[in-house]
Amino acid sequence: MSERLDVGILGATGTVGQELIVALATHPWFRVAWVGASERSVGKRYADATPWRLRTPRPDAVAEMVVEECVPVTAPRLVFSGLDSTVAGEVEAAFATAGHTVVSNARNYRMDADVPLLIPEINPDHLQLLEEQTRVRQWPGKLVANPNCSTIVMTLALAPLCQFGLTHVMVSTLQAVSGAGYPGVSSLDIVGNILPHIDGEESKMESETQKVLGAVTHGRVVPHEVVVSAQTTRVPVINGHTALISVKFETPPPPGDIIRAFRDFSGRPQAEQFPTAPCHPVCYLDDPNRPQPKLDVDREGGMAVTVGRLRECPVLDYKFIVLGHNTVRGAAGAAVLNAELMKVDGLVSI
């Protein structure tokens, strides 16, 4: 794939948009050629329209681009969407209707029956839903979505366990403030505090997990039967969602089998060496004081999740802790990995 494909970014000035720009800056298959944002940014140089919030420097080539209106006129055929859900539904549909391929981070279409909700290590076969999407919506383009950030972190840890007959999951999250965007949560609310409610987050984790782990039959996803009970909180951590998980199985395996399942887990992105894929998507650590956001959130460029503290649970069968980077593996990096899968499968082209 020597020729790089021009791509655009919807919502390029926001937190996820900035992470997408960093993820694509040196990508061997894709090149950012177009940036779109809200009316207040249109017509400005990207550098003038965007207060840069990331530690990685803003790429010079993108800094000089002029921000465009989020309409499918001059945009490339492949666009990544970091739009807020309040506007994403209408804008993304307009792009798909105009023949563009949209890789979305927004929640608007995730649970639609004909929209693949992708984690490429887990359910790459769900891309076959695009045939039904074309038939039903008659879009010349197409739309795929990645799950909610906390869902991705949790489900990457659950997928290796499905082989043991996973039946029930109880999860409580400790979610970073970067997940709320910028300016996000007021410092007076979050410093020295925990916020016990994140709007819509619990229901997303409960329903999206079943779709991702489900099987496609006759053009639709039959949801996995696992029952998920989620509680979500916001904590004073910059990056990294931590999930405290208890699981129940049809027949509980030995703990050594679970640890081996974590460490051996991989999928097509690893087998086919996608550029953004981590070598080990799930990393299990024996240290009882890990994972920690400060030490583990950037593992494999933020694309791997870290698991630790597997032990017996007196209520279900086992419990453990998983950590993942919410704006990388949980958002921008997830979208880029989805696009790489589509590229390999011939669903996007130059």
What ranges make up the beta strands (E) of 139-292? 142-145, 166-175, 215-217, 220-222, 227-234, 241-249, 282-285
Task: Report yes or no: 295 and 276 within 8 Å, Cβ to Cβ.
Answer: no
What type of residue is 258?
A: I
Question: Nearest Cα to 201, choosing from 185, 218, 179?
Answer: 179
Known catalytic residue: 149?
A: yes
Rounded Cα gap, residues 303 and 321, in angstroms: 17
Given the residues 70, 149, 224, 283, select the one marked as catalytic: 149
Known catalytic residue: 241?
A: yes
Number of H helices, E strands in the chain: 12, 14
Task: Report yes or no: 261 and 114 within 8 Å, Cβ to Cβ.
Answer: no
* Torsion angle, alpha carbons of 74, 80, 85, 90, to 10: 40
- The contacts of residue 334 (CB under 8 Å, 6+ apart) are 105, 118, 119, 146, 147, 152
Spatial strand order in the sheet of 78-81: 68-69, 30-37, 5-10, 78-81, 101-104, 142-145
Given the residues 224, 241, 280, 325, select the one marked as catalytic: 241
- Could you list the active site residues? 149, 241
